[in-house]
Amino acid sequence: MLERIWNGWRATYVGSAGEAAVSGEGSVFSQILRSGLDDEATNIVHRGELCFAVLNAYPYGTGHLLVLPCREVANLEDLEQAETSELWTTVTDAVRAIKLAYSPEGINVGINLGRPAGGSVSEHLHVHVVPRWTGDANFMTTVANTRTLPEALDVTAARIRAAWPGQ
């Protein structure tokens, strides 16, 4: 029999993620870039010429980064060559920074293209870089629809910024 584990903690986020794009304001990522707020306020840990890395506001675990082009584009094949090159260089640097800052046992790197594939902000391509440890999923998600994070996002952002290659 198929077991179901509900992760209701993401329901609000997933339900509202596309609202800004529908309203013509652009994705949440475009709004962050246009906000005029500094990197500390937005949890941006790295800015390149064409791409940037930001902490996921609704992380699966501590250190969950999103790497994305500054230009709002939905599909890999719509990236310009320079964006593609910088995107993957930035993903590689994100992996290095997470390894240095957290010493995880593993790292998940992945992209969900399109809403049916799990892309909750599918109009703005983003690569997930998630540190992993054996047994890092815990009972809180299953019994309380809750995630626990051992440190605040601003502390995580500072640790990753300090570990970023070239800093």
What is the spatial distance between Cα 43 and Cα 69, in angstroms, rounded to a whole number? 16
Q: CB under 8 Å to 112, separation ≥6 — which residues?
A: 118, 119, 120, 122, 128
- Element (DSSP H or E) covering residue 163: helix 153-163
Q: Is 126 among the residues known to form the active site?
A: yes
Q: CB under 8 Å to 136, separation ≥6 — which residues?
A: 61
Q: CB under 8 Å to 113, separation ≥6 — which residues?
A: 74, 75, 76, 119, 122, 125
Helix, strand, or coil (residue 135): coil
| C-beta separation of 106 from 93 below 8 A | no
Catalytic residue among 46, 64, 124, 126: 126
| C-beta separation of 66 from 57 below 8 A | no
Question: Which positions are annotated as active-site residues?
Answer: 126
